[in-house]
C-alpha cells in the first residue's frame, strides 16, 4: 500500500485532494445545521435544503458521462469541485431561505462531479492490478478526514470565544474557515498529469472486446448494479440519518453520540484498508456481497433489543461493511466498463444511490413519528437482503474474466 503511494505521484495528489475535501465536508456538515438554527430557521428548511441538494446531485450525476465527453474528466471534476466550494461559501454568508436553497442546488450539482467521477479518475492514473488498493486508500483517507473534520467542527465555535463575537458569527467564521481548507484541494487536483493513464492490462482488453460486441451486456450490468445500489441505499437511507436521534432517544448525550460515531468512522477507515487483501483471499465478488448483507444480523437483534449497544453495533457493522465493499465494487466496475463509459456508469450509480436515499429517508421519518424505529429497521433488513441477492447476480464473473482466469491458471501450471 505505502509502496503504491510512494511510486504513484498522481495517487498521492488524489489522496491529498480527498484529505482536504473530507476535512471541509466533516466540519461544514456538523456546523451548518447548527448555523441554520442560530439564524432562526427550523427543521423544515433543513430538510428542504437536504432534499434540494440531493436531487440536484442525482440529476447532475446522470449527466456526468456527457459532461466528461464534452470537456474531459479532469476539467469536469475541477469545475464541479470549484462550483461546490463557491456554493458552500455562499451558504456560509447567506441568511435568507431563498439564497440558501439556491446555493444548496448549485452545491449539489458540483458535488455530483466529484462524487461520481472520483473512481474513473483513479482508474485513469492507477493500473488495474492496483486499483482496489488505491480505492481503499482513497476511501479510508476520505472517511478519516471527514471524522476529524466532524470532531474539529464541534470545538471550533468554542475555540473562537476569545474573539468576543456572538455565537452566530463564530459559527459563520468556522464555516468560512472550513471552506478555505477545502478550497486548497483544488491545487493537487490541477497538478494531476491527465495525459498519463495506466498501462494496457486485462481491463483494457475487456474494453476492446466491448467495442466488438458486448456493449449490450455491459449496459445491462450497469443498470442492474445501479438497481442493486438503489435497493441497498433504501435500507441505508431508512436508518442512518436517524442514528444520532435514536441514540438520543435512548438516553445518550451529544458528547457520547459524537464519540461513538467517530469511533465507528475510524474503524471503518482502518478496516477499509484491509479490504483488498480480504477480497483476494475470499474472492472479491463473494466478499463484497457478504459485507453488504452482514448488517442484517445486528439489525434483527436491534429490533428485538432496542438498546444503545445494539444501535452502535448495527450502525458500525453497516458502515464498516460499506467502507470495505465500495473500493472493491468500484474496481470491479472499472475493470468491466470501457474507459469512455466509466463516467456514465458511476454517474448512474451515484444518482440511483441518492434518489433512493432521499425517498427512503423522507418516508422513514414519517414512519418513525407514527410507529417508532422498528419500521426503518425492517426496511433496512428487507432492502439489504434484496440488494444483496441482486448484487450477487451482478458481480458474478463475466465470460471474459473466467476465460482470463483459466488462461492465467494454465500459464502458472506450465511454468511450475
Regarding whether 254 and 192 lie in a shared domain, the answer is no
Regarding whether 261 and 161 lie in a shared domain, the answer is no
pLDDT number for residue 175: 93
Please say whether the beta carbons of 272 and 328 come within 8 A.
no
Regarding whether 178 and 72 lie in a shared domain, the answer is yes
* Residue 251 included in any domain: yes
pLDDT in tens, 321-344: 988 888 888 888 888 887 778 888
Cα dihedral value 404, 406, 412, 415, nearest 10: -100
Q: Check the CA dihedral 287-273-404-215 and report its sign.
A: positive
Lowest-confidence region among 80-89, 160-169, 228-237, 405-414? 405-414
Regarding whether 353 and 257 lie in a shared domain, the answer is yes
Closest Cα partner for 132 from 310, 405, 335? 335
Which residue range forms the structural domain that includes residue 21? 1-198
- Burial code (b: 16+ CB inside 10 Å, e: under 16) for 72-93 equals ebbebbbbbbebbbbbbbbbbe
Question: Which residue in this structure is represented by grid cell 491529498?
Answer: 16
Lowest-confidence region among 113-127, 183-197, 303-317? 183-197
* Residue 415 included in any domain: no
Regarding whether 124 and 139 lie in a shared domain, the answer is yes
Q: Which residue has the higher pLDDT, 77 or 150?
A: 77
pLDDT at 317 over 90: yes
pLDDT number for residue 252: 82
Last residue within a domain, chosen from 183, 198, 213:
198
Over residues 32-40, the mean pLDDT reads 83
- What is the pLDDT confidence band of residue 300, given thresholds at 50, 70 and 90? very high
Regarding whether 102 and 134 lie in a shared domain, the answer is yes
pLDDT number for residue 206: 40
pLDDT at 36 over 90: no
* Residue 413 included in any domain: no
* Residue 288 included in any domain: yes
211 secondary structure, DSSP code? I
Q: Which residue has the higher pLDDT, 74 or 108?
A: 108
Percentage of the residues of the chain whose pLDDT score is greater than 70: 88
- What is the pLDDT confidence band of residue 277, given thresholds at 50, 70 and 90? confident
Closest Cα partner for 286 from 324, 337, 319? 324
Please say whether the beta carbons of 33 and 49 come within 8 A.
no
Regarding whether 325 and 286 lie in a shared domain, the answer is yes
Regarding whether 152 and 25 lie in a shared domain, the answer is yes
User: CB atoms < 10 A from the CB of 162, how many?
Assistant: 7
Please say whether the beta carbons of 364 and 379 come within 8 A.
yes
Regarding whether 185 and 68 lie in a shared domain, the answer is yes
Over residues 231-246, the mean pLDDT reads 86
Q: Check the CA dihedral 48-180-35-364 and report its sign.
A: positive
pLDDT number for residue 401: 58
Can you give 238-298 as a three-state secondary structure string? HHHHHHHHHHHHCCCCHHHHHHHHHHHHHHHHHHHHHHHHHHHHHCHHHHHHHHHHCCHHH
Regarding whether 167 and 62 lie in a shared domain, the answer is yes
Supply the CATH number for residue 211's domain. 1.20.1250.20
- What is the pLDDT confidence band of residue 314, given thresholds at 50, 70 and 90? very high
pLDDT number for residue 7: 77
pLDDT in tens, 153-185: 777 877 888 877 888 898 899 999 999 999 999
Q: Which residue has the higher pLDDT, 151 or 169?
A: 169
Last residue within a domain, chosen from 139, 165, 198:
198
- What is the pLDDT confidence band of residue 201, given thresholds at 50, 70 and 90? very low
Please say whether the beta carbons of 176 and 92 come within 8 A.
yes
Q: At what angle do helices 73-93 and 9-38 cross, to 10 degrees?
A: 20
- What is the pLDDT confidence band of residue 214, given thresholds at 50, 70 and 90? low
Q: How many domains does the chain have?
A: 2
pLDDT at 197 over 60: no
Q: Is the model's pTM score more than 0.75?
A: no
Last residue within a domain, chosen from 163, 198, 233:
198
pLDDT at 6 over 80: no
pLDDT at 204 over 60: no
* Residue 412 included in any domain: no
pLDDT at 209 over 50: no
* Residue 231 included in any domain: yes
pLDDT at 247 over 90: no
Regarding whether 77 and 18 lie in a shared domain, the answer is yes
* Residue 396 included in any domain: yes
Regarding whether 129 and 27 lie in a shared domain, the answer is yes
pLDDT number for residue 207: 46
- What is the pLDDT confidence band of residue 202, given thresholds at 50, 70 and 90? very low
214 secondary structure, DSSP code? I
Closest Cα partner for 313 from 299, 325, 328, 324? 299
φ/ψ of 226, rounded to 5, equals -60, -40
Lowest-confidence region among 92-101, 153-162, 222-231, 400-409? 400-409
* Residue 416 included in any domain: no
pLDDT number for residue 324: 87
pLDDT number for residue 195: 40
Amino acid at each position: 500500500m505505502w509502496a503504491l503511494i510512494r511510486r504513484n505521484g498522481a495517487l498521492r495528489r488524489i489522496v491529498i485532494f480527498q484529505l482536504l475535501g473530507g476535512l471541509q465536508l466533516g466540519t461544514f456538515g456538523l456546523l451548518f445545521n447548527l448555523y441554520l438554527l442560530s439564524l432562526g430557521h427550523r427543521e423544515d428548511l433543513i430538510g428542504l435544503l437536504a432534499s434540494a441538494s440531493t436531487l440536484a446531485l442525482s440529476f447532475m450525476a446522470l449527466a456526468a458521462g456527457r459532461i466528461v465527453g464534452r470537456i474531459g474528466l479532469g476539467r469536469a471534476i475541477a469545475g464541479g469541485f470549484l462550483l461546490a466550494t463557491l456554493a458552500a461559501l455562499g451558504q456560509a454568508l447567506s441568511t435568507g431561505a431563498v439564497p440558501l436553497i439556491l446555493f444548496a442546488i448549485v452545491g449539489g450539482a458540483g458535488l455530483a462531479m466529484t462524487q461520481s467521477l472520483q473512481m474513473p479518475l483513479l482508474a485513469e492514473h492507477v493500473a488495474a492490478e492496483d486499483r482496489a488498493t488505491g480505492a481503499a486508500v482513497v476511501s479510508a483517507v476520505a472517511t478519516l478526514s471527514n471524522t476529524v473534520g466532524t470532531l474539529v467542527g464541534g470545538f471550533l465555535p468554542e475555540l473562537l470565544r476569545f474573539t468576543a463575537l456572538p455565537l452566530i458569527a463564530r459559527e459563520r467564521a468556522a464555516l468560512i474557515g472550513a471552506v478555505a481548507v477545502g478550497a486548497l484541494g483544488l491545487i493537487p487536483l490541477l497538478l494531476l498529469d491527465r495525459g498519463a493513464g495506466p498501462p494496457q492490462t486485462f481491463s483494457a482488453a475487456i474494453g476492446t472486446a466491448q467495442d466488438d460486441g458486448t456493449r449490450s451486456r455491459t449496459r445491462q450490468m450497469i443498470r442492474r448494479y445501479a438497481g442493486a445500489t438503489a435497493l441497498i441505499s433504501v435500507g441505508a437511507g431508512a436508518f442512518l440519518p436517524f442514528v444520532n436521534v435514536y441514540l438520543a432517544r435512548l438516553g445518550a448525550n451529544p458528547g457520547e453520540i459524537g464519540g461513538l460515531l467517530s469511533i465507528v468512522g475510524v474503524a471503518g477507515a482502518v478496516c477499509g484498508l484491509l479490504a483488498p487483501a480480504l477480497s483476494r483471499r475470499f474472492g472479491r465478488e463473494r466478499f463484497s456481497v457478504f459485507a453488504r448483507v452482514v448488517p442484517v444480523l445486528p439489525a434483527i437483534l436491534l429490533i428485538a433489543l432496542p438498546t444503545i449497544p445494539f444501535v452502535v453495533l448495527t450502525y458500525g457493522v453497516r458502515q464498516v461493511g460499506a467502507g470495505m465493499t465500495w473500493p472493491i465494487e468500484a474496481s470491479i466496475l472499472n475493470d468491466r466498463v470501457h474507459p469512455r463509459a466509466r463516467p456514465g456508469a458511476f454517474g448512474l450509480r451515484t444518482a440511483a444511490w441518492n434518489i433512493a436515499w432521499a425517498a427512503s429517508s423522507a418516508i422513514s421519518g414519517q414512519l418513525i413519528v407514527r410507529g417508532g424505529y422498528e419500521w426503518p429497521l425492517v426496511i433496512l433488513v428487507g432492502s439489504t437482503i434484496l440488494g444483496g441477492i441482486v448484487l450477487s447476480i451482478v458481480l458474478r464473473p463475466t465470460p471474459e474474466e473466467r476465460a482470463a482466469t483459466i488462461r492465467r491458471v494454465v500459464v502458472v501450471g506450465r511454468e511450475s
